Structure 1
């Protein structure tokens, strides 16, 4: 993976677009712009969306600005990896084939700079549990 390597998690992009959500989006986009300027790799470790459901031919339009930012990031040469969280398991081919360089559906271990990093989905921590809201 290209350096620097950035990790973010639990962004929980919301379907409702109130003032506080727009502020959060602005902060996220500033961070993504910083990553774009420095280059490297971005790893999103779960719960990017608060709720995401993709149909065969339909994606949530409320997230179009985010999709645009990620595609711009990738166009600049940044590699973007996505480890699904318990809020993200309804993805289909738009996420896996278009938006991200690599999508992880299960726990994975990455060797980065000689160190092992274990990236966990909540499903890996609690195997067999579909609803992890306890």
Structure 2
């Protein structure tokens, strides 16, 4: 992908809209939509790295109620010709065509390699990567199994959504949420994952979410690991200006 002069590529992750309740997440949604309105002015592309919703499951003819402002803004952006790419997170594993068909947004279920100008990026949500976290990895295999999804599909949406929202908040293993304190490079599974990938191939940037912690870590003189933080505590996002990737914090124009 060529990033024209004066244009930028933006990255965002972990909004968890709907948590802990739709009412309490509504101000965060409005702030995120304001960010989308801001970045669309000079965006060459926008990457959303998962957990936009605290829960998302696509029945054959039903999707979870709400999030109209976010979905409408994304449709407006893609209709204007700005590409948006989505990477599923551990809270929205169950996407099955809605974003592609209704919003014209490609959806990825695994990390993907992108080249932006001369820089190579490995991009993904980040859950279940690297060593450790074996309990969650086993749980994820159950959740992504076609039989499991088929069985869950038979739950009435009112029951299915309510059950999933409860488990998303209450069960740490199911949610895949890690300790949001920096654990040190040797104990950060995504850092270890990136270092192992560099043994096979060079990447300029590894960009992930999931940790809810803004991080920029130099892996060597040429490669950097970036974690995008979240839109619950930090309101941080990534910005690539065609040559350099940086983390920034979004504040509403009238906020103090």
What interval of TM-score do these two structures reach, taking the shorter chain for normalisation? 0.7 to 0.9
1:48 corresponding residue in structure 2:
52
| Equivalenced residues, count | 133
What CA deviation, in whole Å up to 9, does each residue of 1:25-73 have, x standing for no partner?
Answer: 1110111111222242100012111111110101122122211111011
Q: Please, which runs of 5 or more residues in structure 2 have no aligned partner?
A: 141-173, 179-256
1:111 aligns with 2:115: yes
Work out the CA distance in 2 between the residues paired with 1:114 and 1:125: 26
Regions of 4+ moved over 6 Å? none
Alignment of 1:40-79 (within 5 A): 40-79=44-83
Cα pair 1:107 1:124 within 8 Å, conserved: no
Name whichever of 95-104 and 39-48 sits farther off: 95-104
Work out the CA distance in 1 between the residues paired with 2:126 and 2:17: 18
Work out the CA distance in 2 between the residues paired with 1:39 and 1:122: 24
RMSD after superposition: 2.1
1:9 corresponding residue in structure 2:
13
Structure 1 residue 107: Cα displacement? 1.3
Cα pair 1:52 1:88 within 8 Å, conserved: yes
Q: Please, which runs of 5 or more residues in structure 1 have no aligned partner?
A: none
2:185 corresponding residue in structure 1:
none
1:30 aligns with 2:30: no
Work out the CA distance in 2 between the residues paired with 1:100 and 1:35: 19
